[in-house]
């Protein structure tokens, strides 16, 4: 087991519920947007497409955080539905799979193992794209993984974007070994079980 057993100090709040649906007027996509707080660190994961930026910022305010207090933004990967609203958080460093972007500083590094705080770290989880990373937060009640390895609790079992299903399967297993709660790209958080696509 690679389960992280020691409780952490992070607090995890989903501030926008992700979705993918077909409406009469077209396909609608919303990113799951998550706020993770650990001490002075406030992280937004996947500030992507939302139906209302006002509602997103109101949800953040509801947790006592102003946009300029967000210290870090994480892109799980580079699809626009998970990145387009990054500029709402003007002071945040931005993290992706291969770098940290701070103002006009491009700091190359590998995301695997990068620590944003004592209880928040990044791991490489390729599969949906080959540049996917997941944000792992250790809390008092378990380990949360913000990840696009699943769109939602039901998968899809086979990700239509995946170039190599075996790579995605390995990442999913790694996440299941670590995390007690999955926060997927486009759906409510879930506790993995026997029906979770592997």
Pairing of strands 33-38, 26-30: unpaired
Q: How far is the CB of 40 from Zn ion (least distance, A)?
A: 30
Residue 133 CA neighbour count, 13 Å, CB half: 27
Binding mask 163-192 toward Zn ion (x if CB under 5 A, else -) reads: ----------------------x-------
Residue number with CB closer to Zn ion (185 or 192) = 185
In whole angstroms, the minimum distance from the beta carbon of 118 to Zn ion comes to 29
- Which helix (H) or strand (E) is 115 found in, with range? strand 115-117
Assess contact for 162 and 130: CB atoms under 8 A.
no
By beta-carbon proximity to Zn ion, the closer residue of 81 and 96 is 81
Q: Looking at beta carbons, which residue is closest to Zn ion? A: 79
Interacting residue with Zn ion among 10, 42, 60, 79 (CB under 5 A): 79
Cβ atoms of 197 and 176 within 8 Å: the answer is: no
For the bound state, the minimum distance from the C-beta of residue 145 to Zn ion, rounded and expressed in Å, comes to 15
- Cβ neighbours of residue 45 closer than 8 Å, sequence gap 6 or more: 33, 34, 36, 73, 74, 76, 135, 146, 183
Shortest approach of Zn ion to residue 76 CB, angstroms? 8
Size of the site for Zn ion (CB under 5 A): 3
Q: Is 102 exposed, middle or buried (0-12, 13-18, 19+ CB in 10 A)?
A: middle
Q: How far is the CB of 88 from Zn ion (least distance, A)?
A: 18
118 vs 156 by CB, closer to Zn ion: 156
Catalog residues that contact Zn ion under the rule CB under 5 A: 79, 81, 185
């Amino acid at each position: 087991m690679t389960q992280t057993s020691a409780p952490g100090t992070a607090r995890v709040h989903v501030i926008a519920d992700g979705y993918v649906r077909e409406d009469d007027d077209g396909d609608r996509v919303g990113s799951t947007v998550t706020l993770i707080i650990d001490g002075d660190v406030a992280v937004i994961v996947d500030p992507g497409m939302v139906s209302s930026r006002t509602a997103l910022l109101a949800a953040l305010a509801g947790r006592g955080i102003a946009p300029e207090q967000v210290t870090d933004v994480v892109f799980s990967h580079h699809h626009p539905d998970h990145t387009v609203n990054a500029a709402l958080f003007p002071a945040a460093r931005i993290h992706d799979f291969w770098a940290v972007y701070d103002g006009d500083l491009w700091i190359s590094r590998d995301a695997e193992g990068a620590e944003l705080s004592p209880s928040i770290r990044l791991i490489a989880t390729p599969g949906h794209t080959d540049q996917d990373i997941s944000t792992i937060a250790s809390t008092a009640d378990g380990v949360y993984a913000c990840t696009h390895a699943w769109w939602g609790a039901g998968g899809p079992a086979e990700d239509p974007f995946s170039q190599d299903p075996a790579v995605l399967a390995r990442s999913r297993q790694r996440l299941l070994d670590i995390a007690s709660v999955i926060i997927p790209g486009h759906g409510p958080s879930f506790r993995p079980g026997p029906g979770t696509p592997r």
